[in-house]
Amino acid sequence: MNRFNKIFAYSSVFLISLCLLVVFLLAFRAIPFGADTMDVGHFYLEDAAKSTGSANIVTAVVLGFRGFDTLGEVMVLFLGAVGLGLVLSSQKDSTHSPAKTFPSLILKTMADLVFPFIVLFGIYIFMHGHISPGGGFPAGAVLASGYLLLFLSQRGGYHIRLAQRVETGSGLVFVIVGLAGLYFSGFFLHNFLPVGRLGSLYSAGIIPVLYSLIGIKVGAELGGIIYRLFGE
Amino acid sequence: MVNPLYILVSLVFFALLILFVQRFSKYFALLATAFNFYLSINILIAALKKPLLVNLGGWKVPFCISLFASPLSAALVLLVSLVGFCAVVFSFSYIEEERNRYYALLLLLLAGSSGVVLAADIFNMFVFFEILCISSYALVAYQRKADSFEAAFKYLVQGSVGSSFILIAIAIIYGLFGTLNLAHIARHISFPLTFSLKVALALLVAGFGVEAAIFPFNFWLPDAHPAAPSPVSAVLSGLAIKVGLYAVLRLIFTIFGYPGVFLPLLFLALFTFVVGEFAALAQGNLKRMLAYSSMGQIGLIAAVMSFGSVYTFTAGFLQIFNHALAKSVLFLASGVFFYQGHSLEISDLKGAGRKNVLVGAAFAAGIFSLVGLPPFLGFFSKLAILVSLFRTQGTLVLAYIFIFLIVILTAVEAAYFLRVLGVLYQKPAVFSAASGGKKMALMQIPVVFLGLLLLGLGLFPQIVQKIAYFAASSLLNKAAYIKFILG
Amino acid sequence: MDLVRSLYYLGAFLLIGIGFYAVLGKKNLIKVIMGLSLIDNGINLLFIAIGYVRHHTAPIITSQISDTSLMVDPVPQALVLTAIVIELSVLALALALAVKVFAVHKTLNLNKIKGLKW
């Protein structure tokens, strides 16, 4: 592509992006920053504590009021992992070249020391999803970062088959819990466990159960993704 | 038991189960799609009497996520489960590697399609739309050859940008109205549309239009549909683009209620129609030709729908059913030919119709139905299109131009399709019918079944016509939609 | 237009715009994927900015904060949670495809890969 074509191409793309920017800014003039435009939001804020028992209202929305979206989201992540597994699974060309660097002694020692704390932290996050910020998804990411540390230090010992069972198993239990809600109360993903005292660990019905499942599932899933990308 | 929720939950459950147990994947998939087919028939019968509304989680509308099975949604769910079932049966013999992942992805593709169609909440629609898109990106790459990876990547980038547009539109809508329930949003929207809402609508049409393959968002289609394995191509051409179009139509007509989008939509759709059909004429690869034909047909359907009357909608839905069934037949049949002859170039298919009598006949049925010859379903759908266009009021000039284009492009379709048919039945049969036996029988069953269905529905079109009419009414009636859901 | 107040919107749109420019204009496959990631981040920021209500606080009931009428909108935060996960999946799949495209073509330059031209 000669110089003139290049300038033309880049500047037209730049202009398109600029136009988009301007259009969006104009469109959002109708939504003043900081104004209260809530409609269903008010209901969720007032009702969350009472009907779901979760002190973290975002959790109440994610796993209570809009639980079905979360099921879809869990499925999307599952799809990403399965799709990645499918794409990377051809044996024809080996894209995996053996590691050219070896982990230093510091990395290996600290990885062994730090890993249990990372896992503990991850478990803490998903267990307290209904009391403090966090929940299953960040917890899964933290768990996976622990696994990543293991891979980086070439510790080995990650059982991909077990991870896959855990991943799909927790997904199945999630669906079963939802169906149980259907059975006991007539609505899918309805809260059928006792709501408990607001702010205590044993509260919010099925929400900590669901978040625990999600945390384990996401951790296993992301770990599997990292495992496959490392080309083991 | 007649609850649209079970369609989604069963597909999701079995997809997870397949990868948990890692065995019997074919049979689980078959069970799931058979169950869904049976369920969707019941749901359609119920929805035709009174639409079904399911509020998930036990909260009241609009504070919950709802599933709404209108006659339109129920009819599309039936189509999804039918084509899905045929694709699974076909895949029994056709798909030999990575079965677990393949069937899980396929089931989730069907789940995503059904979810979009049943959704009554805009973000839920987006989540299921993403399920549909991501599973299709992965399935396009299934064959893991160079062209599969490239086609999948191109598709992914375009689809991802489209999804981003949808998200921005959701942000606009939520920022304006504070709710995500489609009926609640519809209640808030009144005329004239503000600038923000126009931007939101444009973004939604663009975003869902990527999946619906409307120009200029369809550059991924000619590479992606051929690169996928044949049953997946059938599902993509037959179902996925229809679901994208459904989302566009539902948003424009029922939620926004904005017939003013007519001219731009018509223009884009006509352009898609013309480009698709002429490009199909120039193809030497069978699946690529079918892919461009799908592009053209979606352009035709979208153009018909844009006129906005009950009659044009009914005709458009008839054509949706026709194209979904016929294109599936053609793609599955091409799969049979590929399985035997290992080539998809049309010139290599000489005499294939003679060696495979049943598949050849079904292929012919599909072609005749798409072109619009009696006694197949396509005849009635094309006839309905032409009649409904004659009956439009107020846009006669455009309607006549459109009719003229349809006539010309039908001739073009006939040209390239009948050319293939001629090659199939050519005398010096170069085609080698390699393997036979049980595998071939299993692959032939869905092909022949769909071909017979096209014939049967053509001989007795009343059922489909009635369903299409109810579907069209439910799409157009914004007030009834709001009243039914919100009360 | 009070620019200061809409700074968050401006930032979000800048991210989206830069990402969009990267997707359309960049030649390297990985940069295109990074562009997708930028778009996603911009959109997430946009959602959070929409949910903000002036002088209100995070929607978590603690022993010190229990007045729910002074809390920010929880719904966009829930939507962002879902959106992040969805975009993560797409990115993972995109990277896997990029790995394979590189393995086949030994280059990440879009101009050199015939199949990827628009």
> Are residues A178 and A192 in contact, defined by beta-carbon separation less than 8 angstroms?
no
Assess A95–C contact: CB distance below 8 Å, yes or no: yes
**Range among B108-122, B339-353, B411-425, B453-467 rated most confident:** B108-122
Q: Note the pLDDT tens digit of each residue in B172-202.
A: 999 988 889 888 888 888 777 888 888 899 8
Domain locations in chain B as residue ranges:
5-486
For residue B149, which residues of chain C lie inside 8 Å, CB to CB?
A: 97, 100-101, 104
Q: Note the pLDDT tens digit of each residue in A179-216.
A: 888 777 767 767 777 766 676 777 777 888 899 999 99
Size of interface A-B (CB pairs under 8 A): 155
Alpha helices (runs of H) in B342-437, residue ranges in sequence order? 352-355, 357-371, 377-390, 396-424
Pairwise pLDDT comparison (C37 vs A29), residue with the higher score: C37
Residue the block writes with tokens 């466990």: A193
Instruction: Write the secondary structure of chain A as one string of H (helix), E (strand) and C (coil).
Output: CCHHHHHHHHHHHHHHHHHHHHHHHHHHHHCCCECCCCCHHHHHHHHHHHHHCCCEHHHHHHHHHCHHHHHHHHHHHHHHHHHHHHHCCCCCCCCCCCCCCCCCHHHHHHHHHHHHHHHHHHHHHHHCCCCCCCCHHHHHHHHHHHHHHHHHCCCCCCCHHHHHHHHHHHHHHHHHHHHHHHHHHCCCCCCCCCCCCCCCCCCCCCHHHHHHHHHHHHHHHHHHHHHHHCCC
Q: CA angle at residue B301 from B296 to B303, to 5 degrees?
A: 95
Best residue in A23, A24, A137 to probe C by mutation, most C CBs within 10 Å?
A24
Write down the pLDDT at residue B16: 93
* Nearest alpha-carbon partner for C24 in C38, C39, C37, C35: C35
Q: Note the pLDDT tens digit of each residue in B421-474.
A: 888 887 766 666 655 667 777 888 888 888 888 888 888 888 888 888 888 888
> Are residues A34 and B180 in contact, defined by beta-carbon separation less than 8 angstroms?
no
ipTM (interface predicted TM): 0.93
For residue B102, which residues of chain A lie inside 8 Å, CB to CB?
A: 86
CA dist B279 and A7 (Å) reads 31
For residue A225, which residues of chain C lie inside 8 Å, CB to CB?
A: 92
Assess C9–A contact: CB distance below 8 Å, yes or no: yes
Write down the pLDDT at residue A82: 93
- CB-based contact A57 C60, cutoff 8 Å: yes
> Are residues A178 and B9 in contact, defined by beta-carbon separation less than 8 angstroms?
yes
For residue C99, which residues of chain A lie inside 8 Å, CB to CB?
A: 88, 95, 229
Mean pLDDT on A65-74: 91
- CB-based contact C21 A13, cutoff 8 Å: yes
What's the pLDDT band for C118 if we cut at 50, 70, 90? very low
Q: For residue A75, is pLDDT > 80?
A: yes
Q: For residue A93, is pLDDT > 60?
A: no
CA dist B413 and B403 (Å) reads 15
- CB-based contact C101 B153, cutoff 8 Å: yes
Q: Which of B50-54, B341-345, B365-369, B469-473 has the lowest mean pLDDT?
A: B341-345
The mean of the pLDDT values for chain A is: 84
- CB-based contact C116 B154, cutoff 8 Å: yes
Assess C107–A contact: CB distance below 8 Å, yes or no: no
* Nearest alpha-carbon partner for B164 in A144, C24, A55, A50: C24
Best residue in B19, B132, B188 to probe A by mutation, most A CBs within 10 Å?
B19
Assess B383–C contact: CB distance below 8 Å, yes or no: no
Q: How many angstroms away from the CA of C65 is the closest CA of chain B?
A: 24
Q: Note the pLDDT tens digit of each residue in B54-66.
A: 888 777 777 888 8
Assess A89–C contact: CB distance below 8 Å, yes or no: no
- CB-based contact C90 B134, cutoff 8 Å: yes
CATH code of the region C2-115: 1.10.287.3510
Mean pLDDT on C52-59: 84
Of B150, B168, B175, nearest to C113 by CB-CB distance is B150
Q: Note the pLDDT tens digit of each residue in A48-64.
A: 878 888 888 899 888 88
For residue C20, which residues of chain A lie inside 8 Å, CB to CB?
A: 16-17, 20
Mean pLDDT on B410-416: 88
Instruction: Mark which residues 9-28 of A lie under 8 Å from B by CB.
Output: 23-24, 26-28
Peptide bond into B71 cis (omega under 30): no
Best residue in B128, B145, B157 to probe C by mutation, most C CBs within 10 Å?
B157
Mean pLDDT on A92-119: 79
Mean pLDDT on A108-126: 92
Assess C68–A contact: CB distance below 8 Å, yes or no: yes
Domain locations in chain C as residue ranges:
2-115
Q: CA angle at residue B406 from B401 to B412, to 5 degrees?
A: 130
* Nearest alpha-carbon partner for B115 in B144, B175, B178, B73: B73
Buried b (16+ CB within 10 A) or exposed e, A125-162: bbbbbbbbebbbbbbbbbbbbbbbbbbebebeebeeee
Closest CA in chain C for residue B133: C90
Which chains does chain C touch, 3 or more C-beta pairs < 8 A?
A, B
CA dist B230 and A60 (Å) reads 43
- CB-based contact A25 C10, cutoff 8 Å: yes
* Nearest alpha-carbon partner for B288 in B184, B420, B384: B420
Q: Which of A176-185, A218-227, B2-11 has the lowest mean pLDDT?
A: A176-185
Of A38, A62, A84, nearest to C73 by CB-CB distance is A38
Mean pLDDT on B66-88: 93
Write down the pLDDT at residue A13: 82
- pTM comes to 0.94
Q: Which of A45-54, B143-152, B350-359, B409-418 has the lowest mean pLDDT?
A: B350-359
For residue C75, which residues of chain A lie inside 8 Å, CB to CB?
A: 38, 40-41, 44, 61, 66
Write down the pLDDT at residue B390: 83
The mean of the pLDDT values for chain B is: 87
Pairwise pLDDT comparison (B449 vs C5), residue with the higher score: B449
- CB-based contact A83 B138, cutoff 8 Å: yes
- CB-based contact C79 B123, cutoff 8 Å: yes
- CB-based contact B177 A41, cutoff 8 Å: no
For residue C18, which residues of chain B lie inside 8 Å, CB to CB?
A: none
Write down the pLDDT at residue C116: 55
Closest CA in chain C for residue B134: C90
- CB-based contact A41 C73, cutoff 8 Å: yes
Indicate the residue type of B256: F
Assess C80–A contact: CB distance below 8 Å, yes or no: no
Q: For residue B383, is pLDDT > 80?
A: yes
- CB-based contact A229 C100, cutoff 8 Å: no
- CB-based contact C5 A38, cutoff 8 Å: no
Q: Note the pLDDT tens digit of each residue in B214-273.
A: 888 888 898 898 889 999 999 999 899 999 999 999 998 887 877 677 778 888 888 899
Contacts of B78 (CB under 8 A, 6+ apart): B37, B40, B41, B43, B44
Q: Note the pLDDT tens digit of each residue in A133-170.
A: 888 899 999 999 999 998 888 877 778 888 889 999 99
For residue B154, which residues of chain C lie inside 8 Å, CB to CB?
A: 115-116
